[in-house]
Amino acid sequence: MTKQQVWKGAGYIYLQAISWVISGYIFWIVMSRIVTTEIIGTYSALVSFAEIFANIAILGLIEGIQRYLGKSFYEQDLKYAKVYLKASFLILSFGIVLSISIILLANEWITSIFGFDFNLIIVLILLTASSALYMLLDSVIVSSLRTKALPLIMAISSTAKLSLSIILGLLGAGILALTLGYTLFGQLLSSALFAIVIIKLFKSTSTLASQKSKDTEEASLKHAFKNILVASLVSWVPLLIPTIGSDLGTIVIYGSKGSYETAVYFIALTVVTGITGIVYSLFAIALPALSGMKDGRKTLTWQTMRLSALVSLPFSASLIFYSKEVMQILGPDYIGGALPLQLLLFSILPVIVSTGVDTLAYSYGKYRLSLGLGLAMTVPRTILYFVLVPQYGGTGAAIAYTVGSIMASAFAIIIARKIGIKLYWKDLGLPFLIPIGVAFAFDISQVHFIVGIISTVIISYIVLIKIKILTKVDVRESIQILPYNVSDPILNVLHKVDRKLKLF
């Protein structure tokens, strides 16, 4: 497995994440005109519950399967890959049953506190099962590094679920238009397409791996089940804890402030999670690659952290001074989410640091350190949610979320010293500070927010080039991870621009 293969796989995941962000924002712009903020608030609480229960159901399989499948695909050992896949589905089946049982046992409590009727409980169960299946199948494709189909699947499912949601919304389906149309249908359609890709993947790989499999000791389902269960369970709590830390804020707001303020905060959080989703997409491909490597793990981890900062920070920093305008696109009811959005945007740099160190620690099998990182993030968030949300609502939840991210990054710095990875703060800090200064100048000059955001990003990258934080090699390698029919024309244009303007 070459570095180019890793970055090429990351490129398709990056395109998938970009497609998800764009389609999601379009969805909320459209649905904010069709359904009320109360419906969106109820939907956000329902989805937050589903994400927590889905992560209970997945039993940490995302990390476990990426570690063992990533190694199997790396060694072209298809026999073991198939056995590990079977073991994963067995574990997932048990996890889904466990999660559904918890939901049914907590039915009365959820109904009394949050006002969900039994129909919404059924929807919650369906969302939980479909989300868990979606996550498992997606992680299988990521582990193989054959991620070319992911952007296309995202485009197909996004178009289909947006169309269905609009139809159901116009017919007055309300909360069902969002949950059944957008979330459930989208996940099931994506899962079906994932399954097709996985079947083709194993067929296309079988010829290459046949000789390797003949020389391999007979794969045992029991052995694979034990290995992947141990690797998954030790990452289960570290994975579940950040999910609770992220989604609990929405649930606490819904329980204490109602559906309107929940909707406003949820939209602001969606903007930020869309950006961090791009960051996570790069580390998602790094974990199976790191797990299959013997040397160069720290170098690849740092390169991924640096690339994540260069990709996400200039844009996220440019939004800080235009958060009001960004939220107002969805309508005047959502302007109240401007301050929470500003606060949440400050969490992205700490998330990059903590996620990078956590990914490296897990690839080394240092599960306790990974658990400690999760607790460092979630414990402060959880405490502050219950302290701040009742009084400050969405703003309090945003403060809690960002403080938790900062605490996790502080703990990550300590872990980084223990495992010996150097963090170069100039390369991480300047991609955030430079656009902050540029955006502030545009804001006080009262430049239109669209012009301000685009200009901030462009000027920031030019400055980063001039001070050699962003190099020609960075640009070339970042673009080369894209499909050839996309990367080649872009590289040709940039080469001509650089030849005239002498940027580098």
Q: How many alpha carbons lie under 13 Å from residue 258 in its C-beta half-sphere?
A: 3
The dihedral sign for the CA sequence 447, 450, 452, 455 = negative
The size of the chain, in residues, is 504
Note the pLDDT of residue 207. Answer: 44
Name the one residue in this structure whose structure tokens are 């990367």: 487
Name the one residue in this structure whose structure tokens are 């399989």: 61
Give which of 312, 314, 341, 311 is closest to 325, Cα–Cα. 341
Note the pLDDT of residue 232. Answer: 77
Alpha carbon separation from 346 to 199, 275, 340 (Å, rounded): 41, 12, 10
Residues of the chain with pLDDT under 50: 1-2, 207-218
The dihedral sign for the CA sequence 387, 47, 244, 407 = negative
Calpha distance 380→376 (Å, rounded)? 7
Note the pLDDT of residue 37. Answer: 86
Q: Provide the residue type at 150 as one letter.
A: L
Coil, helix or strand at residue 447? coil
> Which residues are within 8 A (CB) of 311 and not within 5 positions of it... i.e. 6 or more apart?
14, 278, 279, 282, 478
Angle at 419 between CA 416 and CA 424, to 5 degrees: 40
Structure tokens at 35: 């359904």
Note the pLDDT of residue 493. Answer: 73
What pTM did the predictor assign?
0.79
Helix axes 425-444, 348-363, angle to 10 degrees: 160
Calpha distance 370→256 (Å, rounded)? 32
Note the pLDDT of residue 208. Answer: 45
Note the pLDDT of residue 434. Answer: 95
